[in-house]
Structure 1
Amino acid sequence: MTVISQLQNNKADMQQTRIHTQPLPTLQPGEALLRISRVALTTNNITYAAFGETPHLRYWDFFPTGAAEWFHMPAWGFAEVVETTVEGIAKGERFYGYWPIASHVVMKPVRIGERGFYDGAEHRLQLTSAYNQYQRISTDAAYRAADEDYQMLLRPLFITSFMLADFLDDNDFFGARQVVVSSASSKTAYGTAFCLESNPRVELIGLTSAGNTGFVEELGCYARAVEYADVEKLDPSLPTLYVDFSGNRSLRARVHQHFGSALVHDCYAGSAQSHEHIGEADMSLPGPQPQPYFAPYQIKKRNADWGPEEVTRRFNEAQLAFIRRVSDPQHAWMQINQHAGLDAAQQLVEALIAGDIDPLAGHAVLLD
């Protein structure tokens, strides 16, 4: 192996992709070379790409391509150390974390401990630290070898779901009696509903397209599924919290206009279907101004409230329960499709960006 192969996207047109190869660099002291084994591709990755230049997110900056017009779309998955100059990082060790969609990556492991390491590459020091941490599978209490595909597909989404559910509960749902969730068929949305389904204080309503109402109803974690066309049929007198996974401005406006002063909070949780940010027009809508939600902020709060070990314990417990629910052979919420190689990943990325999304499908790309 003399080259690194990378799947890259064009910043001006995300759906334009290329497979780029470059010579394998000579490792410098303090560096490790990892072979990327498998990664998950979901609409979450498209969100990373769409918001790549957002100042507090900067997803394009994690894995620079060296070409101004091209970027790496990050993905969660597993990789193995194939060469290392770093004490405490052994050849053959397997790590879970945040990778480029590529054959290999060179990292600079720092803060090495029992849990794993952080990538100390200079360009990542100012980026969100949660994305810079790499977990040894040997010390990951939630790791199950048979669940690797489920873990990499669901953990990065479910941490958002788990902390979002906690954020809403922590704020007593801002006084709401019903929670209306858009893009209810998306994995992050129904992960949030899974965490809240037994909460007696609110009724969960899943907004979805006409073609996905059956899927949303069958999930069982929403009290009911409602088509987007029927938003105005919801009771406008009930205190309502809107959790927005669609990013659709027209839908957001309809929600605000329908509920008016009964809308107690508009929580924008991110989107793959819309690449637009909250704009001035959204801020002039009746009711509360839309507020973006960012999971690391709630993680930081709970680390202070509970301690990191307790946060991890609670999350691991919930994640394992979620994987059991999603993978239940009698009523599976997700079917895993495996794709081999960067060529297959390229086709998949282009399909996901185009919006060709089956809510039942989860995609694992095998690279080694």
Structure 2
Amino acid sequence: MGIKVGERFYGYFPIASHLWMRPGRVTERGFYDSAEHRQALASAYNQYTRCSWDSYYTPGTENLQILLKPLFLTSWMLADFLQDKAFFGATRVVFSSASSKTAFGTAMCLENSPGLERIALTSADNKAFVETLGCYERTVSYAELESLPNDRPTLYVDFSGDLKLRDRVHQHFAARLVYSCFAGSAQSTDKAQLTAISGPQPVFFFAPIQIRKRNAEWGPEQVSQHISEGLQRFNGLLTATSTPLLEVVESEGYEAAQRVISRLFHGQVAPGEGHVIKL
């Protein structure tokens, strides 16, 4: 089976007008880029899926797929990892940058976890938005962190990359904090620092490692099916109401990309906006 001119594929493409690739392992599902300079990367970054094969794909939801699928992949795998580890004994999970799609996607995936309390940490400006999501038992602003009770084993998932906030979380929950992981950086472009002032040392969560584990145990087809089903539920959460929780904003060209990236960096993009740039 080969690749036909005009076929559409989903994958991690660079922000560029052209890309030289060397397709390998071509199947009905898609192919892998076997270019030599790409081989040091995790295989997930070299995989390109045929849209005609993908059960989630429809032309009408293409922008949503572009926006949500790479984020939800991390969400699903992180939730699976935490469940697989029985939450390291925790009965409460605290999420920073809880308005980010990866954070509340993870919270949604944990909705059927008996006895688990999901706590959202977010900015005061985004608190009302987070409360409308319905996937956290409690939402507090960063300034209100210390108002949370320290009465049960707690697990911290850091999506913000804010080192001062991490230290506050570690100090507040103290001996009750059983695990701390770093899953993204919504507020910083600095290199991840896996240190904390006290308590368990933060661990970087890397989704491709959990993907590799589940591919070996379940097979890639079943893993893809689980993620697609979860992604459809996530899509429904964001778009089902008369006032959708995600508005797709489409722009075109490199200058538009520069403006959006600048706004993201300065925290000027509303949590209900999802930007797609077409080149």
Q: Using a 3 Å threshold, how does the CA distance of structure 1 residues 107 and 190 change in structure 2: closer, same or farther? A: same
Deviation, structure 1 residue 331: 4.4
CA-based RMSD of the aligned residues comes to 1.4
User: Which residue, out of 93, 114, 139, partners 1:225?
Assistant: 139
Contact 1:327-1:333 at 8 Å conserved across structures: yes
> Which residue pairs with 2:261 in the alignment?
349
> Which residue pairs with 1:163 in the alignment?
77
Paired letter, 2:113: N
3-state SS in 2 of match to 1:261: helix
3-state SS in 1 of match to 2:126: helix
Distance 1:167 1:248 in 2: 23
> Which residue pairs with 1:362 in the alignment?
274
Q: Which protein has the bigger helix share?
A: 2
Distance 2:278 2:150 in 1: 48
> Which residue pairs with 2:215 in the alignment?
303
3-state SS in 1 of match to 2:186: coil
1:289 equivalent to 2:201? Answer yes
Q: Using a 3 Å threshold, how does the CA distance of structure 1 residues 262 and 336 change in structure 2: closer, same or farther? A: same
Q: Describe how 1:98-117 pairs up with structure 2 within 5 A.
A: 98-117=12-31
Distance 1:307 1:126 in 2: 23
1:94 equivalent to 2:8? Answer yes
Distance 1:295 1:343 in 2: 31
Distance 1:201 1:106 in 2: 50
Q: Radius of gyration: which is bigger?
A: 1
Deviation, structure 1 residue 162: 0.4
User: Which residue, out of 331, 338, 341, partners 2:250?
Assistant: 338
User: Which residue, out of 242, 248, 252, partners 2:166?
Assistant: 252
Q: Using a 3 Å threshold, how does the CA distance of structure 1 residues 342 and 277 change in structure 2: closer, same or farther? A: closer
Contact 2:97-2:186 at 8 Å conserved across structures: no
3-state SS in 2 of match to 1:107: coil
Q: Using a 3 Å threshold, how does the CA distance of structure 1 residues 108 and 161 change in structure 2: closer, same or farther? A: same
Name the TM-score, length of structure 2 as normaliser: 0.96
3-state SS in 1 of match to 2:222: helix
1:327 equivalent to 2:239? Answer yes
Distance 2:254 2:161 in 1: 29
Contact 1:261-1:287 at 8 Å conserved across structures: yes
Deviation, structure 1 residue 185: 0.3
Q: Using a 3 Å threshold, how does the CA distance of structure 1 residues 169 and 356 change in structure 2: closer, same or farther? A: same
Paired letter, 1:114: E
Q: Describe how 1:14-29 pairs up with structure 2 within 5 A.
A: none
Distance 1:278 1:340 in 2: 31
Contact 1:180-1:204 at 8 Å conserved across structures: yes
1:126 equivalent to 2:8? Answer no
Deviation, structure 1 residue 341: 2.1
Distance 2:238 2:65 in 1: 11
Contact 1:102-1:342 at 8 Å conserved across structures: no
Cα-to-partner distance string for 1:262-295 (whole Å, 9 max, x where unaligned):
0010011110312334547x24x22111111000
3-state SS in 1 of match to 2:27: coil
> Which residue pairs with 1:192 in the alignment?
106
Distance 1:309 1:201 in 2: 31
Deviation, structure 1 residue 104: 2.0
Distance 1:241 1:355 in 2: 26
Deviation, structure 1 residue 353: 2.5
Q: Using a 3 Å threshold, how does the CA distance of structure 1 residues 278 and 109 change in structure 2: closer, same or farther? A: closer
1:178 equivalent to 2:95? Answer no
Q: Using a 3 Å threshold, how does the CA distance of structure 1 residues 224 and 363 change in structure 2: closer, same or farther? A: same
User: Which residue, out of 195, 201, 204, partners 2:118?
Assistant: 204
Higher relative contact order (CA 8 A, sep 6+): 1
Paired letter, 1:191: G
Contact 2:174-2:198 at 8 Å conserved across structures: yes
Q: Using a 3 Å threshold, how does the CA distance of structure 1 residues 187 and 299 change in structure 2: closer, same or farther? A: same
Contact 1:278-1:290 at 8 Å conserved across structures: no
Deviation, structure 1 residue 298: 0.8
Cα-to-partner distance string for 1:300-334 (whole Å, 9 max, x where unaligned):
11112222111111111111111121111424221
